[in-house]
Amino acid sequence: MALTSLFIDPVEELCAPYGLELASPRDPERRGSQVGFGRPEGCPVMRALIDRGVHGDFRAPDLLRFGFAPLRIGFADVHDAATALAEVLGREPWRDERYRRRPAVT
């Protein structure tokens, strides 16, 4: 729960200009170990993130989903993922044609 809370706060702060909406419950007791953010063009955004080492998945129609396993992910990883998400949204590499083709799975 601490990891998901630690992810939500900087994502909402860093990504405020980019149209992300928290889709997961804000209450950590109801949220569990994953966080979802709604964002148009979510699939190419997730693909660009995966190329940067941030592994999540995409759920149609617009959900970026991130899972947090405390045995594998630490606080620094969470911060780095939030920063990478802001960079991908701000610099827009997801607009590249290679990310716009939707694979069978993300």
- Model confidence, pTM: 0.91
Phi-psi map region of 32: left, alpha, beta (phi>0 left; psi -120 to 50 alpha): left
Short-list 88, 12, 18, CA closest to 50:
88
Residue 101, pLDDT score: 83
Judge whether 53 lies within some domain: yes
Residue 32, pLDDT score: 87
Q: What is the CATH number of the domain that holds 40?
A: 3.90.1150.10
Each residue's pLDDT tens digit, 30-72: 998 999 999 999 999 999 999 999 999 999 999 999 999 888 8
104 pLDDT more than 80: no
Judge whether 61 lies within some domain: yes
Judge whether 77 lies within some domain: yes
- Residue 39's domain comprises 2-26+33-100
Our count of domains for the chain comes to 1
Q: What H or E segment, with its residue span, contains residue 4?
A: helix 2-14
Residue 68, pLDDT score: 92
Judge whether 106 lies within some domain: no
Judge whether 105 lies within some domain: no
